[in-house]
Amino acid sequence: MLPKIFYSIFYTFWILTTKCFVSCKIRQKTYEKYYSVVMDHISEKVGWDSMQHLEIKYDFSTEISTKIKDVICKESRIVLPKKFEAIIHILNYTYTDVIHTFIDHISAIAKRCQEYYDFNLGDDLLSCIVLLQSVVENSKTMFEQLYNVMNYLSNIDFKLLANFKKTFSVPIVDEIYTFVEYATLKSKKNTQIFINPNDPNTKREACEVILDVNSFIQRKGHQSYQKIKEKNSLIVYNHKQKCLLEENLKYYNALQNKNIELSYYLSEWLNLYYDEISTNFYKNLGFEEVLESKKEGIFKPTIYSYKNICHKQVIEQLNTITKGSGWISLKPIHIVFNDQVVSVDRILRHPADRLNFHCKIEHVSRLIKCIYTEILFKYCKYVICLLNFCEKVYVKSNDVAFINFVRQIFDAVNETTKMFDIMYKTLVSLHNLRGKYYHDNVNSNLISLCTSITNLLEEIKSGNCSIAVLDTKSDNSNMKVTQMDATTCVKKFSEFLKYYKSNSQPLNKTHEKHCRLRNLLLNIDIPDSINTDNFSSACNKLILFSKNVIKVYYEELGLNKLN
């Protein structure tokens, strides 16, 4: 068995490092050169001067910290990946502060509206509600810009910039998207109230607006803020921090002429704040040119080189796959990539383009690997359970019944080989689409999974699970031979699966680390008990499971367009 497994590993590794890479390869030097150009561009922008009160600390054993401008400038000896990591940490901190300011001020305006509601001040309530909705909607552009920066930084593959890198900086991309999504939703609803303020329906609708804003702030908004506060441990604030809401309230209370209403004052301040953030922390940091440049060749990376197909066609192929109807059912699922928790929702959020193709195909490949690994584990566990029942029945049952059970289980096992053939071909096709990646090795999740599938298919097709040897003969003398063959088949296949399972620890470890598939529906749970009455249905369930996998996790995901 060991020589066979060694051969399978060698063969799979050879397939994935030669045949799959005939058509394409990733240009590591081009990748690094592109990000060097980007870093040189943004490091010269004036916006970083406004962050000189922020310093980054790389070594926790000392109190030494460095100004961001000194880290990212051309003269700095700090390597490119660390420069980008410093930017991620600084922007995580800065954008978190923006979120905090937004939450504070929106909450204050909502509180003011609630006071008007409680005191039944119709005109003031209506004006306040209009301002509240408007100021939430107006935040959309600002949050979109901050999100685009974080999304851009999250698409950097630090493994390609720094060999043997173990830990990665994590941009707060999903947390900011929470606020983009909310502002977009408010804009689409367009629920501003222009009805008679004395109408009872108007007051009810106003109350719903207040409750909606408070609900978002107290739940999703606050949760996102609390999550990202913990990611700023490397940043040192070398000035005394101010709470902008407190400053604004203090200034408002000091006003001699208070003809201006508080909610109006705060909403006007927020609108100016949005423009200031967009200018200082998006445009003046150089990201506007990087993300919106129309000039060919400056900020448009060419990462892949294909012999027989253009990069544009490969991007279109990936976009075709992710338009499959089955992706919607995967939205609750998350995977871990470069220390980031990546949701299926994020994978589907934007179409693939030249900028995000590399990480997008990585995310898709890892997600499919996670799903197929879970399918493999569930399958093995289920089949072992069926085999254990057969071994018990052998002691208690007659030869005819035993042989019938064995025939049923191996009939089901042989019918599932199509599922594993498809899984293997799909993984190879995704790997081919992704291109050569220098950080793959024999222990990688992909190669381990392909090797495991190959081993299982070889065992099933070897004859040890052959139905032919179980053909029942009419005379009793041949019946004994068939019974012995059946016993041998069950024992061999059971031993193989148990050995196979115990030697899948590398795959199991990476699966536990990278795959968060708590909401994956596979419908192959082991019955509470297997007996002679439900054994046939249990075997049929295995066949139905394999057909369902092909339908749901291959065809409906559009992966059949790869093969």
pLDDT digits (tens, 9 = 90+) for 154-201: 988 888 887 666 777 889 999 999 999 999 988 877 555 555 556 777
**In this structure, are 108 and 20 located in the same domain?**
no
What does the alpha-carbon distance between residue 340 and residue 345 come to, in Å, rounded to a whole number?
14
Indicate if 125 and 250 belong to the same structural domain.
Answer: yes
143, 179 contact by CB (below 8 A) = yes
Q: How do residues 494-528 score in pLDDT, each as one tens digit?
A: 888 988 877 777 778 778 888 888 778 777 776 76
Is 341 contained in some domain?
Answer: no
Residue 453 has pLDDT above 90, yes or no: yes
Q: What's the pLDDT tens digit per position in 520-559?
A: 877 777 676 788 888 999 999 999 999 999 999 999 999 9
User: Do residues 411 and 540 both lie within one domain?
Assistant: yes
214-244 per-position pLDDT tens digit: 999 999 888 888 877 766 666 677 666 678 9
| pLDDT value at residue 261 | 92
Kindly state whether residues 10 and 56 are assigned to the same domain: no
**What is the rounded distance in angstroms from the CA atom of residue 231 to the CA atom of residue 175?**
12
Q: Could you tell me which residue, 309 or 183, shows the higher pLDDT?
A: 183
DSSP code per residue over 149-214: HHHHHHT--HHHHSTT--------HHHHHHHHHHHHHHHHH-----S-TTSHHHHHHHHHHHHHHH
Q: Is the pLDDT of residue 65 over 90?
A: no
Q: Is residue 463 part of a domain?
A: yes
- 12 touches 458 (CB < 8 A): no
Is the domain of 18 the same as that of 109?
A: no
Model confidence at 489: pLDDT above 90: no
pTM (two decimals): 0.86
C-alpha distances (whole Å) from 44 to each of 71, 73, 79, 94, 278 are 12, 7, 17, 19, 18
Residue position matching structure tokens 């940091």: 285
Considering 292, 322, 345, which residue would you say is the last residue of a domain? 292
For residue 71, the Cα-to-chain-centroid distance in whole angstroms is 30
Higher pLDDT, 367 or 469: 367
Bigger pLDDT: 465 or 6?
Answer: 465
| pLDDT for residue 14 is more than 50 | no
**How many independent structural domains does the chain possess?**
2
pLDDT digits 0-9 by tens, 407-435: 899 999 999 999 999 999 999 888 888 76
Q: Are residues 394 and 470 in the same domain?
A: yes
- pLDDT interval class at 80 (50, 70, 90): very high
Residue 317 maps to a domain? no
- Does one domain contain both 14 and 86? no
**170 and 182 both lie in a single domain:** yes
User: 10 Å Cβ neighbour count for 182?
Assistant: 21
pLDDT > 70 in the chain, percent? 79
How confident is residue 61, by pLDDT bands cut at 50, 70 and 90? low
Phi, psi of 309 (to 5 degrees): -155, 145
Same domain for 213 and 93, yes or no, is yes
User: Of 292, 313, 341, which marks where a domain is finished?
Assistant: 292
- Between 123 and 234, whose confidence is greater? 123
The answer on 402 and 268 residing in a single domain is no
Residue 74 has what DSSP assignment?
T
**pLDDT above 50: residue 21:** no
User: Residue 479 — very low, low, confident or very high, per pLDDT cuts 50/70/90?
Assistant: low
pLDDT class of 145 with cuts at 50, 70, 90 = very high
Average pLDDT over residues 67-94: 91
Classify the C-alpha dihedral 126-132-135-139 as positive or negative.
Answer: negative
- What SS3 class is residue 260? coil
β-sheet bridge partners, residue 460: none
Domain membership flag for residue 364: no
92 shares a domain with 18:
no
The total number of residues shown for the chain amounts to 563
How crowded is residue 41: how many other Cβ atoms within 10 Å of its Cβ?
16
20, pLDDT greater than 50: no
Beta bridge partners of 485: none
Is the residue at 554 inside a domain?
no
Separation CA 4–CA 10 (nearest Å): 10
Domain stops at, among 259, 292, 325: 292
* Averaged pLDDT of the chain: 82
Confidence of residue 10 (pLDDT cuts 50, 70, 90): very low
pLDDT at 23: 44
Q: What local confidence, expressed as pLDDT, does residue 315 receive?
A: 87
Reported as a pLDDT band with limits 50, 70 and 90, residue 303 is low
The β-bridge relationship of strands 24-26 and 304-306 is: antiparallel
Confidence of residue 474 (pLDDT cuts 50, 70, 90): very low
User: What is the structure's pLDDT at 442?
Assistant: 41
Q: What are phi and psi of 503, to 5 degrees?
A: -100, 15
Residue range 317-342: mean pLDDT, rounded: 88
Q: Are residues 264 and 413 in the same domain?
A: no
Judge contact between 232 and 91, C-beta under 8 A.
Answer: no
On the question of pLDDT at 321 being above 80, the answer is yes
Residue 464's domain comprises: 2-25+377-545
d(CA 410, CA 31): 50
**More confidently predicted of 561 and 312:** 561
Task: Check residue 433 and give its pLDDT.
Answer: 81
What confidence score (pLDDT) does residue 304 get? 59
pLDDT for 399: 74
Answer yes or no: is 331 within a domain. Answer: no
pLDDT given at position 520 = 80
Residue 161: inside a domain: yes
Residue 38's CB is within 10 A of a number of other CB atoms, namely: 21
The answer to whether residue 370 is domain-embedded is no
Which pLDDT value is given to residue 492?
86
% of the chain beyond a pLDDT of 90: 41
